[in-house]
Amino acid sequence: MLKNRIIPCLDVKNGRVVKGINFVDLKDAGDPVEQAKIYSDGGADEICFLDITASNENRDTIYDVVKKTSKKCFVPLTVGGGVRSVEDINKLLNCGADKVSINTAAVENSKVVLDSSKKFGSQCIVVAIDAKKNGDKWEVFTHGGRNNSGIDALEYAEQMEKNGAGELLVTSMDRDGTQVGYDIDLMAKISSKVNIPVIASGGVGNLDHLVDGIKLGKASAVLAASIFHYGQYSIKEAKDYLDSKGIPVRI
Amino acid sequence: MKVIIVDYNSGNISSVINSFREVAQEKVNIGVTSDLKKIKSGDKVVLPGQGSFKSCVDALYKIDGLVDTLNEFAMTNKKPLLGICVGLQMFADVGYEETETKGLGWISGKVSKIDNQNGKFKLPHIGWNQINIVKDSKIFKDIKKNSHMYFVHSYEFIPENKDVISATTDYSSNIVCSVEKENIFGTQFHPEKSDKEGLKIIGNFIKI
Note the pLDDT of residue B119.
Answer: 86
More confident call, B53 vs A24: B53
Residue A25 banded pLDDT, cuts 50, 70, 90: very low
Q: Where are the domains of chain B?
A: 2-207
CB A149 within 8 A of CB A139: yes
- Best mutation site among A1, A2, A101 for testing chain B: the one with the most B CBs within 10 Å? A2
- What architecture (CATH level 2) is domain B2-207? 3-Layer(aba) Sandwich (3.40)
Whether B50 and A122 lie within 8 Å, measured CB to CB? no
Note the pLDDT of residue B37.
Answer: 97
- Measured CA distances, B82 to A163, A180, B3, B70, B89 (Å): 32, 47, 10, 11, 11
Residue A29 banded pLDDT, cuts 50, 70, 90: low
Active site residue B160: no
Which residues in chain A have Cβ-Cβ distances shorter than 8 Å to B119? 195
Enclosing domain of residue A186:
5-244
CB A55 within 8 A of CB A144: yes
Q: What is the mean pLDDT of chain A?
A: 91
3-state DSSP assignment of residue A207? helix
DSSP one-letter code for B8: S
Which residues in chain A have Cβ-Cβ distances shorter than 8 Å to B153? 123
Burial of B77 (0-12, 13-18, 19+ CB in 10 A): exposed
Q: pLDDT tens digits, residue range A83-99?
A: 999 999 999 999 999 99
Does residue B63 come out as left (phi exceeding 0), alpha (psi in the -120 to 50 range) or beta?
Answer: beta
Whether A75 and B12 lie within 8 Å, measured CB to CB? no
Note the pLDDT of residue A174.
Answer: 96
A187 inside domain: yes
**Smallest Cα distance from B183 to chain A, Å:** 26
A177 inside domain: yes
A137 inside domain: yes
Look at residue A23 and tell me whether its pLDDT is greater than 90: no
- Range with lowest mean pLDDT among A13-22, A73-82, A149-158, A162-171: A13-22
Look at residue A19 and tell me whether its pLDDT is greater than 50: yes
- Total domains, chain A: 1
Task: Give the CATH number of the domain where residue A217 resides.
Answer: 3.20.20.70
Cβ neighbours, 10 Å, residue A26 = 15
For this complex, say whether ipTM is above 0.85: yes
Active site residue B190: yes
3-state DSSP assignment of residue A108? helix
Q: Which residues of chain B have pLDDT under 50?
A: none
Note the pLDDT of residue A57.
Answer: 56
Look at residue A104 and tell me whether its pLDDT is greater than 80: yes
Q: Which residues of A are catalytic?
A: 11, 130
Residue A20 banded pLDDT, cuts 50, 70, 90: very low
Residue A110 banded pLDDT, cuts 50, 70, 90: confident
DSSP state letters, B27-68? TSEEEEE--HHHHHH-SEEEE---S-HHHHHHHHHHSTTHHH
Cis peptide leading into residue B124 (ω within 30°): yes
CB B178 within 8 A of CB B136: no
Report CA torsion sign: A182, A134, A78, A167.
positive
